[in-house]
Amino acid sequence: MTSVLLVDDDNELTLMLVQYLSLEGFAVQATNDSETGVAQALSGRFEIVVLDVMMPRLSGMEALRRIRAGSQIPVIMLTARGDNIDRIVGLEMGADDYVPKPCTPGELVARLRAIMRRVRPFVDDSQPAANHLKAGGLELWPGRRQAAWHGAPLELTGTEFSLLEVLVRQAGRLVSKQDLSKHVFGRPLAPFERRIDVHISSIRQKLGQRPDGQPWILGVRGMGYQLLSD
Alpha-carbon dihedral angle through residues 42, 48, 53, 59, given to the nearest 10 degrees: -10
Angle between helices 158-169 and 177-184 (to 10 degrees): 130
**Local structure of 28: helix, strand or coil:** strand
Residue 144 pLDDT:
74
Identify whether 100 is preceded by a cis peptide bond (ω within 30 of 0). Answer: no
Same domain for 138 and 53, yes or no, is no
Q: Are residues 137 and 79 in the same domain?
A: no
SS3 of 73-86? CCEEEEEECCCHHH
68-71, long-range: CB within 8 Å, 24+ apart, which pairs?
Answer: 68/93, 68/94, 68/157, 70/42, 71/41, 71/42
Do 135 and 104 belong together in one domain?
no
List per-block mean pLDDT (blocks of 10 residues) for the chain, which spans 230 residues.
Answer: 92 91 92 95 94 91 93 89 74 87 85 82 42 89 85 88 91 91 80 85 93 91 87
Spatial separation of the C-alpha atoms in residues 115 and 72, rounded to whole Å: 13
Per-residue pLDDT at 83: 67
Total-model pTM: 0.65
Domain boundary among 83, 100, 119: 119
Task: Clarify whether residues 85 and 146 are in a common domain.
Answer: no
Query: How would you label 31-44 residue by residue, b for 16+ Cβ within 10 Å and e otherwise?
Result: bbbbeebbebbbee
Residues 105, 145, single domain; the answer is no
Contact 163, 184 (CB under 8 A): yes
Looking up residue 81, the CATH number of its domain turns out to be 3.40.50.2300
Which one of 119, 146, 173 terminates a domain? Answer: 119
Q: Given this model, what pLDDT does residue 56 score?
A: 87
Q: How many domains does the chain have?
A: 2
Shared domain for 135 and 219, answered yes or no, is: yes
* 145 in the same domain as 95: no
Domain hosting 112: range is 3-119
Instruction: Give the tens place of pLDDT for each residue, 119-174.
Output: 765 434 344 444 789 999 999 988 777 899 999 999 888 888 889 999 999 999 99
pLDDT (0 to 100) of residue 120 = 66
* Residues 163 and 65 reside in one and the same domain: no
Q: Are residues 141 and 205 in the same domain?
A: yes
Q: What is the CATH number of the domain that holds 202?
A: 1.10.10.10
d(CA 99, CA 211): 39
Check: CB of residue 51 under 8 Å from CB of residue 76.
yes
- Asked if 4 contacts 28 with a C-beta cutoff of 8 angstroms, the reply is yes
Q: Is 170 helix (H, G, I), strand (E, B) or coil?
A: coil
76 shares its domain with 49: yes
- Of 88, 119, 150, which residue sits at a domain end? 119
Same domain, 25 and 64: yes
Q: Are residues 72 and 154 in the same domain?
A: no
Per-residue b/e over 104-128, b at no fewer than 16 CB within 10 Å? eeeebbebbebbbebbeeeeeeeee
